[in-house]
Structure 1
Amino acid sequence: MSASGSVRSAAAAVWGWIRSAPGTYLWLAALSVTTAIENRLSPEEARIWLGHRSTNLDRLGEDPIRVLIGSAFWIDGGGWLVYAVLFSLVHANAERWLGTVRWLAVVVVAHVGATYLSQGLLLLAIRQDRAPERAAFVLDVGVSYGLAGVAAVLAYRMVLPWRVPYVLGVLMICVPPVFVGRTFTDVGHAGAALIGFACYPLTRGRDSRWNPSTRWRAFVARRRGRHRHRD
């Protein structure tokens, strides 16, 4: 195969990969644009800009729909490449498995549910004088609640016994910070994971037989086959 043919083949493979999870990669593309905009702002300008899109108590009280949507398209502090990897590992796999509509439903439910859970508990803490009133204006943007929810729902794609350690792993990542850091975002991540587990009805009718052992054996077999071919 010529060099140009190899390039076209690789481009077609990449395009096919992107088309298999369109929602994930459109979202990621939007995040790349907003991250580039954020990086061009001064720290003070970025704080003001993100503040208008924050799902804190103040903004939720004034314009909830706008900030719930807007906050999902910004990353506080950059880090787009990290999220590109996480989106490819979590969101893209879930979208291919569930389909775009069901995947998006999990994202929305986890994002909105975890936001109101965490901010509701924060409001309660403020009213009980366990948190300062300025906490109602704290910056809260990002995609991590939706990511946690989708990571949790992926547990139902796995066969037993692999599902058990996967669930325990998600819980170990999301739950302990609630008792250590004790911030509203820690509560939000734990809540999003629990919401993701509760989205089991959306997984019905989907193949739930993904087996890491089978995938690993297939990978090893392919590697051995290539070595034998070279020899």
Structure 2
Amino acid sequence: MIEHARRGLRGLWRMLPKPTSTPFTFCYALILLGTALYADFGDQETVSLLLRESSTDGAHLAERPLVVLIASALWVAGGLLSAYGLAFALVLAALERRVGGARTAGVFLLGHVLATLATELPVAGAVAAGSLPEASMHRLDYGISFGLMACVGALSGLLPRRGEVALLGVAVLTCAQDLIELIDPLSSWGHPIALLTGVACRSLIREDGSAGGTGPAAVPGPRAAEATDEDVLL
């Protein structure tokens, strides 16, 4: 049992982002770690102010869209204890190994932006039409979950069939649970939109029908197959 635990830890360590093999994910993860630490242990009044100013609500999107779209993706909802942090590191690192940092960043950004606009703009329209109160334009909305879900959709298409089904199955079940519980309607609808965005990006991040970049999946052979099987654990 101890040996199995050691193997599991070694496998997890190999899948985590590294500064040499996955620099984009590694640097981004460091930023998220820093903001999560500050959110958990920093001055809470300042944290609340920063989160409000980073929110991609309707009012902020109308005033300074580029600033809040970037700032909102610098925080992990739930802080250090959030499962989003580990999922981010594993999923984006696996995607970056296959398609490179630029494409990974593009998928993440596209999912983050499209899902945000697709959920917030209808709210703004409903407020303008008088169907929703003005307070709906000032809700708290931040985090990496939309971008992460887009990367899940893109990564699933680069895995062996078994891994694709498993990863998409988990993502679909998560989206379904969100929609059933509907605790936060905008996030609940944003997650499947982001997932579909990532799935739609599959053909854009491939070259000649295979993953681009210099990661293991771009180089055929036993070592590539071994690395791909490890990422099925995601």
**Length-normalised TM-score, structure 2:** 0.75
- C-alpha displacement at 1:47, in angstroms? 1.9
Q: Aligned Cα RMSD in Å? A: 3.1
For 1:146 and 1:16, how far apart are their aligned partners in 2? 17
For 1:16 and 1:64, how far apart are their aligned partners in 2? 30
Unaligned runs of 5+ in 2: 1-13, 212-216
**Contact 1:152–1:193 (Cα < 8 Å) also in 2:** yes
Q: Percent identity?
A: 28
For 1:164 and 1:15, how far apart are their aligned partners in 2? 22
- C-alpha displacement at 1:204, in angstroms? 1.7
- For the pair shown, the structure with the greater C-alpha radius of gyration is 1
Q: Which moved more, 1:62-71 or 1:126-135?
A: 126-135
For 1:39 and 1:176, how far apart are their aligned partners in 2? 27
Q: Structure 1 residue 18 and structure 2 residue 55: aligned?
A: no
- C-alpha displacement at 1:157, in angstroms? 1.0
For 1:16 and 1:138, how far apart are their aligned partners in 2? 33
For 1:16 and 1:170, how far apart are their aligned partners in 2? 21
Q: Structure 1 residue 186 and structure 2 residue 173: aligned?
A: no
Deviations for 1:134-193, whole angstroms, at most 9, x for unmatched residues?
A: 121011111111100001111111233553443333222124423540610111111111
Q: Which moved more, 1:152-161 or 1:58-67?
A: 152-161
For 1:84 and 1:16, how far apart are their aligned partners in 2? 12
- C-alpha displacement at 1:101, in angstroms? 0.8
- C-alpha displacement at 1:20, in angstroms? 0.8
Tell me: CA distance 1:24–1:137, structure 2 relative to 1, closer, same or farther (3 Å): same
For 1:16 and 1:68, how far apart are their aligned partners in 2? 24
Matched residue, 1:159: 160
**Contact 2:55–2:72 (Cα < 8 Å) also in 1:** yes
Q: Structure 1 residue 30 and structure 2 residue 31: aligned?
A: yes
The code of the aligned residue for 1:140 comes to D
Tell me: CA distance 1:176–1:85, structure 2 relative to 1, closer, same or farther (3 Å): closer
**Contact 1:20–1:96 (Cα < 8 Å) also in 2:** yes
Classify the secondary structure of the residue corresponding to 1:75. coil
Matched residue, 1:174: 175
The code of the aligned residue for 1:173 comes to T
Tell me: CA distance 1:162–1:96, structure 2 relative to 1, closer, same or farther (3 Å): closer
The code of the aligned residue for 1:97 comes to R
**Contact 2:126–2:132 (Cα < 8 Å) also in 1:** yes
Tell me: CA distance 1:16–1:113, structure 2 relative to 1, closer, same or farther (3 Å): closer
Q: Which moved more, 1:174-183 or 1:97-106?
A: 174-183
Classify the secondary structure of the residue corresponding to 2:77. coil
Matched residue, 1:8: none
Equivalent of 2:200 in 182, 192, 198: 198
Classify the secondary structure of the residue corresponding to 2:142. coil
For 2:145 and 2:196, how far apart are their aligned partners in 1? 14
Classify the secondary structure of the residue corresponding to 1:19. coil
For 2:16 and 2:155, how far apart are their aligned partners in 1? 24
Deviations for 1:110-134, whole angstroms, at most 9, x for unmatched residues?
A: 0101110110232244356554321
For 1:16 and 1:151, how far apart are their aligned partners in 2? 16
Tell me: CA distance 1:88–1:129, structure 2 relative to 1, closer, same or farther (3 Å): same
For 2:95 and 2:148, how far apart are their aligned partners in 1? 10
Q: Structure 1 residue 102 and structure 2 residue 103: aligned?
A: yes
Classify the secondary structure of the residue corresponding to 2:121. helix
For 1:134 and 1:14, how far apart are their aligned partners in 2? 43
Q: Which moved more, 1:29-38 or 1:63-72?
A: 29-38
